[in-house]
Chain A
Amino acid sequence: DQQVKQNSPSLSVQEGRISILNCDYTNSMFDYFLWYKKYPAEGPTFLISISSIKDKNEDGRFTVFLNKSAKHLSLHIVPSQPGDSAVYFCAASAVGNQGGKLIFGQGTELSVKP
């Protein structure tokens, strides 16, 4: 039972353009969402998070949007840079029920071409 899904295994974008990574979830108890970036041979690096009381959170080039009615979140990277090429994971937790247990999607590999 995959509670967090990233349906696009890969995405290719031109440098300077917008990258949009998508994530869907099924558990309505999830109330906190995070995005991580992972380079080969390194652990995931925390990028940005959003609580279910918000629908948008920005940090520099990264913006996360949350649509609770659709159970969908997305990460926008503007402008995309070659150094952004990595695997991106979305993760969710039901903080009220389960503390910090994170449920991860399968990941989307982003390739930003110069």
Chain B
Amino acid sequence: ETGVTQSPTHLIKTRGQQVTLRCSSQSGHNTVSWYQQALGQGPQFIFQYYREEENGRGNFPPRFSGLQFPNYSSELNVNALELDDSALYLCASSLDPYQPQHFGDGTRLSIL
């Protein structure tokens, strides 16, 4: 059984650029959630997708957007990158919104 996979593992961007992060959910999982983890902090919820529809959003500005595809893989897009966007971005999938979430190893995003 393949777990949650994220790509790329590391990324360096400059302020003002745009970035797309990708996530393949675990087999059989129809729900994907995205989190941002700053150094020394716990993950912070960005949003969740359930069967291709947004199913909840955290306190992140609209320049953070997402998408879930029919195969339940997902993308996180961030526009107009700021220095504070430097963080580990984690994707998690689950059987449905009410089951435990299983995380990928994350994408480390650095903004210069």
B-contacting residues of A (Cβ < 8 Å)?
Answer: 4, 32, 34, 36, 41-46, 49, 89, 91, 95, 98-107
Shortest Cβ distance from residue A64 to the other chain B in the assembled complex, whole angstroms:
13
Number of chain B residues whose Cβ lies closer than 8 Å to a Cβ of chain A: 28
Binding site for A on B (CB under 8 A): 4, 31, 33, 35, 40-45, 48, 50, 55-56, 58, 90, 92, 94, 97-106
Contact yes or no, A106 B40, CB < 8 A: yes
A–B Cβ pairs within 8 angstroms, 6 of them: A41-B105, A42-B105, A43-B4, A100-B99, A104-B35, A104-B42
Partner of A100, one of B41, B44, B101: B101
B106 and A43 contacting across the interface, CB-CB below 8 Å: yes
Compute how far the CA of A44 lies from the CA of B106 in the bound complex, rounded to whole angstroms.
9
